[in-house]
Each structure stands twice: as C-alpha cells, then as structure tokens.
A = this chain, B = another copy of it.
Amino acid sequence: MNSTKPLILISNDDGITAPGIQALISVMQEIGDVIVVAPDKPQSAMGHAITINQTIRLTETHLYPGVKAYQCSGTPVDCVKIAIDKILPRKADLMVSGINHGANSSINVIYSGTMSAAVEASIDGMPAIGFSLCDYSWEADFESAKPFIKQIALETLKRGLPYGTLLNVNIPVPQDKKIKGIKVCRQAQAKWKEDFDERLDPFNRKYYWMTGQFVNMDKGEDTDVWALDNDYISVVPTMFDLTDHQRIGMINQWNLNVKQKD
C-alpha cells in the first residue's frame, strides 16, 4: 500500500460474496489499491442503520487475491465506520459501493444499504459513488456496465466532489444489451405502496411479509427513472444535508411559540 496509486475503499449491502462486489473489485483493481470491508451476510434495505446495542465482528478474508478484504457482522454503514477507524491507512481517495443487485433509483436511495455506505463515506469526506444494476438476479451480467463504472470512477478521482455531495449511479439492463449513454438526473418522485402479505403460522397466529408496488408519480424526462426506462445510465448528485432550506422562511411565519409560566 506504499504505491502512488489511488486508495479505494469498497463496500456493499449484498454481502462480501455477492457477484456485484466481485465485479466492482475487478474494475477498481485496474485503477488503484483496493481495500474491501463488506457485510458478512446480505444487508439489503438496511438504510442508514448502525449497530449501537450489539457487538461487531471484523474478520480478514482471502476471497479476492491481491485485495485486502474484511467481512464485518454489522450493517453497510458499520462497515464504512470500522474501515475508517481500524483498517484504512489514510483517508481513501475514493469510496465505491455495490454493484447492488437491483435498482436504487428514485425513493429507493433512502432504503438502500448500498447508498447508505456511500453516504457514510461522503460524510467522512471521501468522494463516494454507489453503483446499482437494475437486475435483482444473482446471475446478473455486469460486463457491459464495467467500462462505464471505470470511467465514472476515473472522472470522480480526477475532478473530486464537493463536501456534501456523492453520486448515485444506476445502470439499466437494456433488452438489446446496448446502453445508450449517461444522463445526469434528479431523483424521480415516487413511493412504494405497501401490501403486506398476511399469513398464519403453524400455531394459528398471524405474521406478515412486506411486499409492495413501486408507484412513480413523476413523469419528468430529467429523472433517473426516465433515464433507466430509456436505456441510459442515471447519475444523480445526492446529498446528506436533509434541510429543506427553501421552507425555512415559510415555517418562520408560523405561530409556534408558547407563552410560558414564569
């Protein structure tokens, strides 16, 4: 790790054995020195959860030749935090998360462990990118995505990102296998309509499985959902300051104060 190559931290939420992280590692090895700290089991939809009331395990693995890799019992965000404190010899020049098996476009960014790992790295000041492929299958084909991932990573290393901004990159799987190019987008306004599947256990007690339908309320052609539907890769500049700055003035007009007893 005394090379002059960029230092790249990799994590994900599908776990350290996922084909997606394997593909990402292979691309990043062409660019720099790679350190992997990833969950030891699938941690999809963990959002920005962290482990504060339980212990965490961290174990070096030799899954990927030539790569320093650790599996961690915690969430994707835990992986990034423990990498920063215990593994990285210095701040990484780039953090990449994924490649997620399944889209993290639109509102999915908020549920995604893949994106939360990238957000956490970004909070710490690393340029960070979350990559997702719009194919949930463990057998998904990551090959056509690789040249784009490499180019986006190289450009991010070259340009840097302002503190507070990271990239959410989603990659479509076109029918004819030909990606049309890249669109820089905003996150489409959409939500999941819940539909909990109610069942009875062998003891006649109810339990539920969460299912749902993705509802896109946003027909804008400047959105990530539009880009993906039209065979473009979507790149959404994403931020972790959740302040709705434009509404501060409005809420200031409200009558919120209470006359207190002396």
Contacts and interface: CB of A to CB of B under 8 A. Distances in A.
Contacts of A75: 49
A44 interface: yes
A91 interface: no
B196 A248 contact: no
Interface stretch (A2-10, A16-24, A61-69, A80-88): A80-88
26 contacts: A42-B53, A45-B50, A48-B49, A48-B111, A49-B75, A52-B210, A55-B207, A57-B206, A77-B111, A81-B194, A81-B196, A81-B212, A85-B195, A147-B258, A155-B256, A162-B247, A164-B189, A185-B248, A186-B243, A187-B241, A236-B242, A237-B248, A237-B250, A238-B242, A238-B243, A240-B242
Given A151-B255, A179-B260, 17 more contacts: A44-B53, A45-B51, A48-B110, A51-B210, A57-B207, A77-B111, A82-B208, A85-B195, A86-B198, A109-B242, A147-B260, A151-B257, A165-B247, A186-B245, A235-B256, A238-B244, A239-B242
